Chains A and B, each alone.
Chain A
Amino acid sequence: MALEEKDVRYVAALAHLELGADEVKTFLPQLDSILEYIQKLNELDTTQVEPMAQVTYPSRENPALRSDQPRRTFGQDESLANAPEGAAGCFKVPQVIERE
């Protein structure tokens, strides 16, 4: 097994996931076997191959561009309607800056 428990904990921290000890134990062999499986790609020589990030197709113009006109968007109430905690027209989050 190439992957170790500390690797699983490190990646969990990067991903902001709090994994319990049980989950770390379950994921370790599962992730390890998946990573071992995907090594299969190394059988292919891709030194001369361009990477493909997105499906592209011929198009009349770049459809990603639009005129820079203001449009109506969601108001404050609609934007805050689904917030788990909101107050005074803001999203409420735990304190991030220490007081003096």
Chain B
Amino acid sequence: MELTQLTIDAIREGLAARKFSAEELVRAHQGEIERKDKDVRAYLSLSPERALEQARKVDRQIAAGEKLGPLAGVPVAIKDVLLTKGLATTCASKILKGYVPPYDATTVARLESAGACVLGKTNCDEFAMGSSTENSGFFTTHNPHALDRVPGGSSGGSAAAVAANMAVASLGSDTGGSIRQPAALCGVVGMMGTYGRVSRYGLVAFASSLDHVGPFGRSVRDVAQVLQIMAGRDPLDSTSADVPVPDYVAALGGENDLKGVRVGVPKEYFAGLNPEIGANIEKGIDLLVKQGARRVDISLPHTDYAIACYYIICTAEASSNLARYDGVRYGYRAPEYSDLHDMYRKTRDGGFGAEVKRRIMLGTYVLSSGYYDAYYLKAQKVRTLITRDYLEAFEDVDVIVTPTSPIPAFKLGERVDNPLEMYLADIYTVTASLAGIPGISVPCGRTKGDPAKNEPPLPVGMQILASHFDETRLLQVAHAFEKAGRFEAA
């Protein structure tokens, strides 16, 4: 039995049947990290003691015949924007190098209470700002399917760790696509719940009206099981929703046909993308129809304005959130300065990377005196229009299906010099973030690749969206799609 390729169900059964111990499971993953991570570079830091201690606790519970948590013994990776008590948390930024949080994020605490073993913290774009993980202040993560390519971002390390069997599941954060896009590029499942569905206590803030925490896994069922543990009201996060959490896992069902499910296909999402990706998604939609779903062609007319709207709102919020990095309470402080303001400026100059500075600059500009109405207020109004598009669409359809990314994993370094081009790659994911609806990316075959150009087949992701708090429907459709064939057509 290959211990690093198990589902959460298989882990539960294997532990119960004493086929392996939780400690063996953790050690197997640590071995895989040892072998692979020098090339993939998904992890920023490892927490071997913490993982083993938790595994031994699970093994003692098994020996004593105690009831196990739903994620008992499951080795997981945590994006380094989520606080872990006693374990360095950097947001992949030099400005937080050496920062050791005094508390755990609620999501991390809930996972560990359910028995999960934290293997370490994963790399990402600095403060989750980016789409390739190349903006990490420390090093770049490589796509396990093609090491000369990006894993996507910003949660590239969490996606790559799961794709390369260096964790069973992982946590990421998604502000404009940072879970769904790397999931697509790495060929795994990644999900963002409704805004407010999952607590953000202990998630380092980037853009507060858009930030989410969500899971990665190698199957929809695994992702549903991790979401189940994390979802629900948290008194420590005033924006977490006081809405009951249904049993997502039970709702997945067995042989799940999609009879009567109305699948919306928005025409705006099928123009100007890599044609192979478009063809794969069309085949994916055909597969849903074969299972009884009904295709409904729809329009989301304000899609074309989403990137402009998103980059005004997220940079404005970021410029405010990142004002806290001032070299006083935590993190880096410049070694030499003349006075307090000089200390602020030199600390922030030395601590932040180029993309973070660029976004702080843009956000400060759009909020500055005389420009607020023209940019920020305008963007908030357009956000209403984008949300309205979705609310109207969901009167006629149950879910909406689109490509997750217009392009497959691109080569490292290919886009770093053109920030606007990098932003445009988020075109299919930012709309759901702005509207606050849940979304998931599921593997949908691969590109053909081109041996002549030394281009391997690359994963394609299909995005499924549902209306607010309809995660159940989202997961049902994603699960049925996955079961229908793991989709290997190209």
The answer, among A17, A42, A60, for a CB contact under 8 Å with B348, is A17
B112-120, B167-175, B330-338 - the one binding chain A: B330-338
A88 within 8 A of B: no
Q: In the complex, which residues of chain A have a beta carbon less than 8 angstroms from the beta carbon of B233?
A: 63
Is B337 within 8 A of A94, CB to CB? yes
Q: Which of B100, B235, B326, B337 contacts A16 (CB 8 A)?
A: B326
Using A11-B365, A57-B196, A74-B102 as known contacts, say yes or no to A94 and B343 having CB atoms under 8 A apart. Answer: yes
- Tell me the minimal C-beta distance from B240 to chain A in angstroms: 7
Return chain B residues, CB-CB under 8 Å to A59. 241-243
Complex Cα distance A29/B438, Å? 36
The 4 A-B residue pairs with the shortest CB-CB distance, nearest first, are: A55-B436, A51-B380, A84-B333, A18-B345
Q: Which of B373-415 touch A at CB < 8 Å?
A: 375, 377-385, 387
Contacts of B328 in A (CB 8 A): 83-84, 91, 93
Does B16 count as interface, using CB distance less than 8 angstroms? no
Complex contact A12–B383 (CB within 8 A): no
Residues of B within 8 A of A83 (CB): 328-330
Shortest Cβ gap from A53 to chain B (Å):
6
A57 x B333 contact (CB < 8 A): no
User: Which of B4-12, B43-51, B354-362 sits within the interface?
Assistant: B354-362
Quick one: closest A residue to B235, CB to CB?
A66
A41-B379, A49-B385, A51-B384 known; A34+B420 contact, CB < 8 A:
yes
On chain A, the residues within 8 Å of B361 by CB distance are 8, 11-12, 15, 17, 27, 31
Chain B positions near chain A (C-beta within 8 angstroms): 98-100, 102-103, 194-196, 209, 233, 235, 238-243, 302, 304-305, 307-309, 311-312, 319, 323, 326-333, 337, 339-346, 348-349, 352, 354, 357-358, 360-362, 364-365, 368, 375, 377-385, 387, 419-420, 423, 435-436, 468-469
Residue from the set B235, B354, B375, B378 with the largest chain A CB neighbour count within 10 Å:
B378
Of the residues A18, A37, A46, A81, contact of B420 by C-beta under 8 Å? A37
What are 24 contact pairs spanning A and B, CB under 8 A?
Answer: A7-B365, A17-B361, A18-B346, A18-B348, A20-B349, A23-B357, A27-B361, A30-B420, A31-B361, A41-B378, A44-B382, A52-B383, A52-B384, A52-B387, A54-B239, A55-B435, A55-B436, A57-B195, A63-B238, A63-B240, A79-B102, A82-B98, A84-B333, A94-B340
**Chain A residues near B340 (CB, 8 Å)?**
93-96
* Interface members, chain A 56-78 (any B CB < 8 Å): 57, 59-61, 63-64, 66, 74, 78
Docked pose: A7 CA to B99 CA in angstroms? 34
Question: What count of chain A residues pass the 8 Å CB interface test?
Answer: 55
A99 at the interface (CB under 8 A from B): no
Contacts of A85 in B (CB 8 A): 333
Whole-angstrom distance from the CB of B420 to the nearest CB of chain A?
5
Quick one: given A11-B361, A83-B329, A91-B329, are A49 and B345 in contact (CB under 8 Å)? no
Residues of A within 8 A of B387 (CB): 52, 55
Interface residue from A19, A34, A93 paired with B357 (Cβ < 8 Å): A19
Rounded to whole Å, the gap between the CB of A34 and the closest CB of chain B is: 6
Q: Are A41 and B382 in contact (CB under 8 A)?
A: yes
B377 touches A41 (CB 8 A): no
Residues of A with C-beta under 8 A to B384: 49-52
Q: A36 to chain B: closest CB distance in Å? A: 9
Q: Which chain A residues border B327 with CB–CB below 8 Å? A: 84
B residues in contact with A20, CB < 8 Å = 349
Q: Does A1 contact B (CB under 8 A)?
A: no
A15 with B381: CB separation less than 8 A: no
Q: How far is the CA of A23 from the CA of B348 in the complex (A)?
A: 14
Any B CB within 8 A of the CB of A40: yes
Q: A61 to B307, alpha carbons, bound, how many Å?
A: 34
Q: Is the CB of B381 within 8 A of A49?
A: yes
Q: Which of A15, A54, A63 contacts B364 (CB 8 A)?
A: A15
A4 vs B419: C-alpha distance in the bound complex, in angstroms?
19
A71, chain B: closest CB distance, angstroms: 10
B435: A residues at CB distance < 8 A:
55
Closest A-chain residue to B322, C-beta based?
A: A15
Interface flag for A87 (CB, 8 Å): no
CB <8 Å contact, A41 and B309: yes
| Assembly CA distance A5 to B98 (angstroms) | 35
